Amino acid sequence: MSQEGYKNADLDNISLFDCGVTCMNSCSCFAYSFTSDDITGCEMWNQDTEFVMSASGRQVYFIDEFITRNGSSIPRKSEANKRKSWIGSVMGGALLILVSSFVFYLLWRKRRIAEERLKQKKILFEIEGITNPSSLLDNRRSKFSKIETTNHGMRVFSFESIELATDNFSSANKLGEGGFGPVYKGKLIDGLEIAIKRLSRSSTQGLAEFKNEVKLIAKFNHTNLVKLYGFCIEKEERMLIYEYMPNKSLDSYLFDPTNTLLDWKRRFSIVQGIAQGLVYLHTYSRLTVIHRDLKPSNILLDYELNPKISDFGLARISELNEPKKKTNKVVGTYGYMSPEYALNGIVSTRMDVFSFGVLMLEIISGKRNSSNFDSDHPINLIGYAWQMWNKGEALELIDPVFKGSCVDNEVLRCINVSLSCVQDQADDRPTMSNVVSFLSSESILLAEPKQPTFFTNTAEKNPKSPIVGGRNDSLNTVTISTMCGR
């Protein structure tokens, strides 16, 4: 050893074991050894002593480690303890972080749930005027239950019930998709078939349109208006739950030349049904409702091909006998907008009358209003119908699909009514109540329609002049023109 430890004469004859006990009882002693060949005596090293292994190989015992004669060593217990302590600290820190994260998540989730429930309560109050919406949200029979509200018989569906009905919104149940989001077919646990309109977060149809549609349809009760069963507002979802319409929308039959299902009798019945639905909206419902986006894709057909007007996201309420109003936000679809609305934003029930006139011409002809009918002087359907009417060749307008099944006088009367509906001035157009009377009674004499704005002589003089209404662009992209059955 480069430096000896300290020796005590009183310890010359003690055993190695007693030497070790003495060392361990000393706060400063960290190693000990024997001094005699018979392994007796005691030599100890304290913390101020430098220890170096000597060549003699005499065994020295450490309190936390011992070294053998050949120089090999077993790790000190103190280092192992330090390693264990470090591992314990790391695990303890990790556990603390995990527990803290879990607690933070629970608090965050609780806050999110509280915020979402507050939003739900606000929406329920705004939609239904429910003064105690908590009762609807708290008193569910099960997570798959649907709850009857106290107002208008509307149901508030749980997200889980809709998820189950649509098989987790599977692609097989997807009926179509538009600017508002996808539409799914579903079947509730009681067997009721439904159509789910799921508002996407990127939709241009916002929460205001969602609430508007719910509030309006909840008050409707008419065979020619689509029935809204309820809605879902859980988990930040905005879904409308409708009755399922298996025969798709009208445009899927109307503009398919290979589809012969719609003969004239069925088409005339569809025209009358749509007219009856509009009369209800304009005159007999609790509120005067202007649809503002009437077109074939918004007319759904039930099992018996009865028409039902749908998609009221853009509808507007007005008071009875209310004067015409103006709006700075023109929404709808070009080609179906009345001129006073498209150009000046004037809103009245007569704008729906105009849209109905365009729709009726499309039902008669099987052609879209945006189609071109003259290669030399491109004109839209309204212009072409007016041209044929003036020439006395209005029957040339009819769709060849039902040409052999129609009654000529009935078709001519419908063309006359449709041209009256698309007249330039709103006051010149009939009301929907008048239209229903015109269609149901041949004894009523019809006035000669005036030339519509959407067909002008300037188009004949200058083929390059744009024809107003020749477009079919959607201003709001809320509705879709191609759909599967829903």
Q: Are 158 and 234 in contact (CB under 8 A)?
A: yes
Residue 341: exposed, middle, or buried by beta-carbon count in 10 A (0-12, 13-18, 19+)? buried
pLDDT above 60 (res 361): yes
Q: Which residues contact 483 (CB under 8 A, 6 or more apart)?
A: 175, 176, 183, 248, 249, 252, 297
Stretch 121-147: mean pLDDT:
50
Residue with the larger pLDDT of the pair 135 and 40? 40
Q: Which residues contact 476 (CB under 8 A, 6 or more apart)?
A: 179, 204, 205, 293, 314, 331, 332
Stretch 290-305: mean pLDDT:
93
- Give the active site residue among 18, 48, 293, 428: 293
- Count, in order, helices (H) and strands (E) of the chain: 13, 18
Handedness of CA 51, 53, 54, 60 (dihedral sign): positive
pLDDT band of 79, cuts 50, 70, 90 = low
The predicted structure's pLDDT at residue 81: 60
Q: What would the two tokens of residue 482 be?
A: 């191609």
Q: Which residues contact 22 (CB under 8 A, 6 or more apart)?
A: 11, 14, 29, 32, 42, 44
Q: Helix-strand-coil percent breakdown of the chain, rounded to 5?
A: 40, 15, 45
Q: Look up 293 and say whether it is catalytic.
A: yes
The predicted structure's pLDDT at residue 137: 47
Contacts 24+ apart (CB under 8 A), 361-365: 361/385, 361/397, 361/415, 361/418, 361/422, 362/254, 362/296, 363/250, 363/254, 363/267, 363/270, 363/271, 363/296, 364/267, 364/397, 364/398, 364/399, 364/411, 364/414, 364/415, 364/418, 365/397, 365/398, 365/399
Q: Of the ranges 43-57, 263-277, 330-344, which one carries the lowest mean pLDDT score?
A: 43-57
H/E stretch holding 290: strand 288-290
**Beta-carbon count within 10 A of 245 CB:** 25
pLDDT above 60 (res 141): no
List pLDDT tens digits, range 391-449: 999 999 999 888 877 788 999 999 999 999 999 999 999 999 999 999 998 889 999 99
The predicted structure's pLDDT at residue 375: 56
The predicted structure's pLDDT at residue 481: 29
Residue 301: exposed, middle, or buried by beta-carbon count in 10 A (0-12, 13-18, 19+)? buried
Q: How far apart are CA 392 and CA 386, in angstroms?
A: 10
pLDDT above 50 (res 68): no
The domains found in the chain, sorted by start residue, are 6-74 (no CATH), 101-243 (3.30.200.20), 246-486 (1.10.510.10)
Q: Which residues contact 239 (CB under 8 A, 6 or more apart)?
A: 157, 162, 196, 197, 198, 199, 231, 232, 233
Tell me what the pLDDT averaged over the chain comes to. Answer: 77
List pLDDT tens digits, range 188-242: 988 999 999 888 766 555 667 777 778 777 778 899 999 888 888 887 788 889 9
Q: Which of 211, 64, 71, 230 is nearest to 145 (CA)?
A: 230
Q: How far apart are CA 293 and CA 474, in angstroms?
A: 10
Handedness of CA 44, 49, 51, 56 (dihedral sign): negative
